[in-house]
Amino acid sequence: MLPIGESTVAFVSGLLAGERARRGTRRGRRVLGCYRQAILVLRWFIDGTRVAQLALDNQVGASTAYRYLHEAIDVLAAAAPSLHGALLAARAAGHSHVHLDGTLIRTDRSRAIGPTAGVDLWWSGKHDHHGGNVQVITAPDGWPLWTSEVRPGREHDTTCARAHRDLLPTLDAWTDDEHATLADLGYGGENHRLTCLIKASRGDKLTDDQRTVNTLHSATRALAERGNSLLKTTFKALRRVSLCPWRIVLQP
C-alpha cells in the first residue's frame, strides 16, 4: 500500500497515456497498461523499491522496467512548473519571500573525470560522499516550489546557482521592495541580488544591529531546511539514487 491517494496514481497514469498517444503506441503493444506503469514508478519514487524487484513483481525484464521508469521520469519532468511559473504562483499566494538553498542528493559511486586530478566529478568534499547538487526554492513555510537541474556534488552552491542560466536573473527580477529571496552564507557572492546573512570583514566585528538582523534572517530562513527534508522523506528514491546522476532532476 502506497501512502498516496488514488488521484495521484490517476494523474501519473494520465500523463503516461498522453505520452503513449503522442508516440502513437498501439493498444496491447505494452506489457503494462498506464495504470500499472504509474504504480511501478510511484513505488520507486516513494518506497525506493529496487528496479529488480519491480521487474519481478510485474513479470517484465529488468531492461523493460528501467525503460518504463525512465519514460515516466521524462513525462513528469515535462509537467513540472517552470521557475517563472513557480515565482508567479508565490506572488499570487501573497508570499513576501522565498528561500533558495542547495541540497545534495546522494548517489552510488559514479566514476567520472573531474577538473581536479584524482577526485571524481560527483564527489562532494563537504558531505564526504558522491552526489549531485540541486538548488531548491521553497515557500516561507518550507514547501518546495521548484527544483533546478542537477550539478556535480563537488560544486559550491553559488557555482551551481550561476550555472543555471536563468536562476539568479529571474530571482533578481522577482525581488522588489515587498519581495525577497533569502539565502545562507553559501551565496555570499550574490548578496547584491539575494538577501544573505551579514558577514563580518576580516578583523572587524558585527554591530548589535547587524547581529540582530542575522538572528532574524536565520530564524526566518530555518524553514528552508524543511523543504529539502520533505523532498527526501516523501521520495525515498532521492535518499540515494542509483540511476545516472544527470537524471536526478530533469527540467523541461
**CA–CA dist 130, 124 (Å, integer):** 6
Q: Which of 5-19, 109-123, 202-216 has the highest mean pLDDT?
A: 5-19
Tell me: the pLDDT tens digits for 214-235? 899 988 888 888 888 888 888 8
The residue type at 162: R
Q: What is the mean pLDDT of residues 173-178?
A: 91
State the pLDDT at residue 4: 80
Tell me: the pLDDT tens digits for 17-47? 999 999 898 887 889 999 999 999 999 999 8
pLDDT of 212 above 70:
yes
Q: How far is CA 64 from CA 33, 59, 72, 243, in A?
A: 13, 10, 12, 15
* Percent above pLDDT 70 for the chain: 98
> Which cell numbers in the block locate residue 6?
488514488
pLDDT of 161 above 90:
yes
- Average pLDDT over all residues of the chain: 89
pLDDT of 250 above 70:
no
State the pLDDT at residue 97: 94
pLDDT of 251 above 60:
no
State pTM to two decimals: 0.84
Q: Which sign does the torsion angle of CA 65, 19, 228, 135 carry?
A: positive
Tell me: the pLDDT tens digits for 67-89? 999 999 999 988 888 999 999 99
State the pLDDT at residue 252: 40
Lookup result for grid cell 533558495: 100
pLDDT of 98 above 80:
yes
State the pLDDT at residue 249: 66
DSSP letters spanning 228-250: HHHHHHH-GGGGSB-S-GGGSS-
**CA–CA dist 171, 24 (Å, integer):** 39
- Whether the CB-CB separation of 248 and 152 falls below 8 Å is answered with no
